[in-house]
A and B are shown apart, each in its own frame.
Chain A
């Protein structure tokens, strides 16, 4: 079992719809959770972070965390073609405190169709 699992996709959503990206993790004491966006041929770019159970909203993006279910998700409202990218879920493990080491999922490819 991978430490951080994501569906590789592609996840195809029509323009204007809500895209829902999911991530599960295996380390129950994981502390922090990050979503990165990576356009083809580019570097990962941080878009959201979440540390407490519940929802966190930032513009069109909402991150959701459920530590009991070891599940974190990213919702993108009003999807635009410019949202088409690979979304990487990253988890800071419970033992990562002194180093901020992150474990990355393999990413979900999102295709927002006009």
Chain B
């Protein structure tokens, strides 16, 4: 019973490199989310996908793109990494359509941009 799985767990990039963070959930949830967490800033929503086939911007979308590959998978792409994108990235999922469902988080990806 894996829940939400994120890969990789750690990554170091050079400025200008690109990479994709992967997220998969096995809870049959319809909504998925990408957050970044920085010291003193809390969790900030980057992008979300309310259902398969839809994606929308969150609070801090600049510099990121997402793909909802299918109901299980939601990836986050950094096209040209910048030092300001050094952060811990969390993927979460939730069951929408039922009242008051919480979000469940993956273990996170710790990303450093040099």
Contacts and interface: CB of A to CB of B under 8 A. Distances in A.
Interface of A: 8, 31-32, 34, 42-46, 49, 51, 88, 90, 92, 98-102, 104-107
Interface of B: 31, 33, 40-45, 48, 50, 56, 58, 90, 94-96, 99-108
Helix, strand, loop or mixed for chain A's interface?
loop
A100 B29 CA distance: 11
B103 A100 contact: yes
- Interface centre among B42, B94, B107, by most A CB within 10 Å? B42
A44 B45 contact: no
21 contacts: A8-B40, A32-B99, A42-B107, A42-B108, A43-B107, A43-B108, A44-B43, A44-B90, A45-B105, A46-B102, A51-B99, A88-B43, A99-B48, A99-B96, A100-B94, A101-B33, A101-B45, A101-B48, A101-B58, A104-B44, A106-B41
A28 B13 CA distance: 42
A105 B96 contact: no
Given A32-B99, A98-B96, 11 more contacts: A34-B103, A42-B107, A43-B108, A46-B102, A49-B100, A51-B99, A100-B95, A101-B58, A104-B43, A106-B41, A106-B42
A104 B103 CA distance: 12
Contacts of A8: 40
Nearest to A92: B100
Given A51-B100, A100-B94, A43 B105 contact: yes
